[in-house]
Amino acid sequence: MGEHVTPLEVKWEKVLFKKSSFPDNYTDPKFLDEIKRNVHFKPIDTRTALLKSTRISTQISVTVIFWAVFLQLKDGSAIWEVTYGIFSFIIIVAYVVSFRFNNILPVLKNVFLFIAVGYGCTPVLKTLTDTISTDSIYAMSVILMLVHIAFHQYGMDGVCVSPYVSLNAAICGAICLASRLQETRHAFALLTLAVQAFALFPKLYEVLNYTIIAFTILTAGAFCCMISISVVSAILFLLSIFCVNLIFPLCFVWAQQYKNNIYGPWDEAMIFNR
């Protein structure tokens, strides 16, 4: 008694503007036929995953080279001049290959202007963190470099991608490290290297379409820098590169089989402009 009976001759319709004799929670037997899975999903093959992972490891290598130069400068080793010179030479060659020297006068003007202003401001930058302990500076620099790597734009858009946050974090970390060097010219050299590594190189790397040659050269260079510091650091660097370039991409490709995004009639309607 009192049980609602749905008349068989009445057909249920998925509309809101008509008065229906069906209860609000009624579900048609064909309701689940409209389910779709992974509508916008495009699987990534192993080769693509391995190639794109080199973009991350290349930026890691650049950061490692920067840290190595800082340690060489702090220890008073003359090797920093070789490392700095080779990296600057790579940047120049990349500019030539990318045909950015078509109009060389504006480029030279900006270079000389940066050298003059940068060298004049270096003594001021060196004194910005005098009241902060060295341990705090090192910890803050490590965190800033990790933020730089995490937010860096590796040729793709994402929720946590922000080239401005990445660049600012790297430059702030470079200023913190430069403040712990004794000589002004060493601090200026480290800051110019930071501009080359974190401002110029990513743009050049993108123009050169993330070539595998850059990955090979910079990985080998970073490994040589780590060897000059300690064998343990070189081994840890190789392990990190191995994980980033092989283990993580293969795990990502393997995990794609478990992706299961469900789209159905319960989803909110979306309006598209055509």
pLDDT tens column, 96-118: 777 655 566 666 666 677 777 77
For the chain, give percent helix, strand, coil, nearest 5.
65, 0, 35
Q: Residues 81, 69: contact at Cβ < 8 Å?
A: no
Mean of pLDDT values over 162-166:
87
- pLDDT for 199-241, tens place per residue? 888 888 888 888 899 899 999 999 999 998 889 999 999 999 9
Instruction: Residue 75: name the closest of 182, 172, 179 by CA.
Output: 182
- Residue-level pLDDT at 96: 76
Instruction: Residue 180: name the closest of 169, 170, 193, 191 by CA.
Output: 191
In the structure encoding, which two tokens stand for residue 261, read together? 């995004």
Mean of pLDDT values over 30-41:
73
**Cα separation, 41 vs 36, whole angstroms:** 11
For residue 64, is pLDDT > 90? Answer: yes
Contacts of 79 (CB under 8 A, 6+ apart): 72, 228
For residue 162, is pLDDT > 80? Answer: yes
Instruction: Residue 233: name the closest of 97, 30, 71 by CA.
Output: 71
Q: Which range is least confidently modeled, 63-72, 80-89, 154-163? A: 154-163
Instruction: Considering only residues 152 and 128, tell me which one the structure prediction assigns the higher pLDDT.
Output: 152
Question: At 3, is the pLDDT very low, low, confident or very high (cuts 50, 70, 90)?
Answer: very low
User: Residue 36 forms beta bridges with which residues?
Assistant: 263
How does DSSP assign 48-83, residue by residue?
HHHHHHHHHHHHHHHHHHHHHHHHHHHTT-THHHHH
- Residue-level pLDDT at 41: 78
**Of all residues in the chain, what percent carry a pLDDT higher than 90?**
28
Please state the pTM of the whole predicted model. Answer: 0.79
